[in-house]
Amino acid sequence: MFLDISNRKILIPALIGAGLCLLFIKSGFLSLFFLVPLGFLGYRYSYKVAWTAFFFAVLGNILLTLGSLERGQGLFSSGNTTGIIWELLYFAVMTCIFTWIVSPPPESAKLPMSVRLVGGSCLGALLLTVIFFRIISSPEFIRYLDSILSSFIAMQRSSNVVQTAILESVTAEAVLEMIMAITVRGGSLVSCVLLFTICRQMSFGLASMFLRRGRKDGEESSEAGTVGTSSLRTSSLETSTLAMFRVNPSVIWVLSASLLFVVLMRMINLAVIEIILWNVLILCIILYLAQGIGILQFFLMRPSTPPLMGLLFIVLFFILLFSPVFNLALLGGLTILGIAENWVPFRVPKKNGPPSTPEAGDGRN
């Protein structure tokens, strides 16, 4: 059973995690990290704690939403009922998907993390696309977009007649069509992958800090013949990193075929199939980008790498990541690096010492 509210060791962390999840989603500034408490509970405790927190978070979000309605208005008598229902659905679905990714029940734990992340991101992208098309179908959104565009053109107006004419020729409908094209051709998928990956890595990092402290406590009590469970979970957490992530070699054929057929579908104007193929192509690129980052992380985590050099690489990485043009070159280079590992084994651990020695005879992870 996922829920065991009779156990205080499960109930108390779950309530705290659910409260933090709701606090983040309602705060505005921290809403991007509303999934982090659920991931932390899954890594720090167990899947039962994480799923119990998910249940309380969804229930609490419903109660808070109902409580925020004006007095005398019921949920089904409100003029904005549809919008409220979609907000509740978004929170419930995204928290459910993320909890399944980081803390799957035993029957789903056999699936690799990458498979759960990809599958969950596809479901989340489908929901985001539906919500997006619902939003843009309202006339209020078109007027809002048109007012923003008018303000932007007014601020950018200059003595350059050509530039001003080009800006004034841009309409809200044209901008909306461009946003729609990006959204259905991988924009929603990329958003979900980034959201789940960022929250997962933050959850993982926080849980590692707490479990590392728990491991020290377990080592102190090992003289009494006990081994702390935190140390065991820490060892499993340490292997959950992009440095160990590898894409199945057959994905390169999917990447090549989707790239070819995207061009063909574009030529014969089959938009629906082209959109599907674009999402497949973007998904393959994301996987190889993750593999490229994993290769970089593998070299930075080697004992032979000086800590100062590793720190400089990390600082340089983030500087380039937030620099226009350079970030595209960085991400493109890492993707090509990930693709190249299909033919060049970059992550082959070096063997230290003669093969006959048990400690150094096997360099595998």
**What average pLDDT does this structure show over 227-242?**
47
Is residue 225 one of the residues assigned to a domain? no
Residue 237 counted as domain residue: no
Instruction: Report, as an integer, the average pLDDT of 294-318.
Output: 80
Reading the block at residue 237, the tokens are: 């957490």
pLDDT value of position 120 = 94
Tell me which residue has tokens 């659905």: 89
State pLDDT tens for residues 147-166: 887 777 777 665 566 666 66
Is the pLDDT higher at 167 or at 227?
167
More confident residue, 152 or 87: 87
pLDDT of residue 264: 93
222: left (phi over 0), alpha (psi -120 to 50) or beta: alpha
**Alpha carbons 227 and 215: distance in angstroms, whole number:** 9
Residue bearing the bigger pLDDT, 228 or 186? 186
**What's the sign of the alpha-carbon dihedral 190, 193, 196, 201?**
negative
pLDDT interval class at 337 (50, 70, 90):
very high
The reply to whether 159 falls in a domain is no
Q: What was the pLDDT predicted at 101? A: 93
Average pLDDT over residues 206-216: 72
pLDDT for position 235:
41
Instruction: Evaluate whether residue 310 is within a structural domain.
Output: yes
* pLDDT in the model for residue 313: 80
pLDDT in tens, 276-298: 999 999 999 999 998 998 888 88
Does residue 77 carry a pLDDT above 80? Answer: no
| 212 occurs within a structural domain | no
- Domain tally, the chain: 1
pLDDT of residue 238: 44
CA distance 90 to 84: 10
Q: Could you tell me the CA-to-CA distances from 2 to 25, 50, 52, 218, 320 in Å, in that order?
A: 24, 9, 7, 27, 43
Does any domain span residue 221? Answer: no
User: Which residues touch 317 (CB under 8 Å, ≥6 apart)?
Assistant: 296, 330
Residue 218 pLDDT greater than 50, yes or no: yes
Q: Has residue 131 got a pLDDT over 60?
A: yes
Whole-prediction pTM: 0.79
Does residue 17 surpass a pLDDT of 80? yes
Q: What is the pLDDT of residues 63-75, one digit of tens each?
A: 988 877 654 444 4
Q: Which of 180-189, 229-238, 321-330 has the lowest mean pLDDT?
A: 229-238
What is the pLDDT, as a whole number, of residue 246?
A: 87
The 10s digit of each residue's pLDDT in 116-125 is: 999 999 999 9
DSSP per-residue letters across 205-250: HHHHHHHHHHHHHHHHTGGGT---HHHHHHHHHHT-SGGG----TT
Q: Does the pLDDT of residue 359 top 90, yes or no?
A: no
Residue type, 358: P
Using pLDDT thresholds of 50, 70 and 90, give the confidence band for residue 83. confident
In a domain, 254, yes or no: yes
More confident residue, 359 or 351: 351
Full domain range(s) for residue 333: 249-347
Helical spans, DSSP H, in the chain? 8-27, 36-44, 47-68, 81-102, 113-136, 139-156, 161-169, 172-182, 188-220, 229-238, 251-268, 271-300, 307-321, 326-340
**166 is a domain residue:** no
Neighbouring residues of 48: CB distance < 8 A, sequence distance ≥ 6:
1, 2, 3, 4, 10
Sign of dihedral through CA atoms 310, 316, 320, 323?
positive
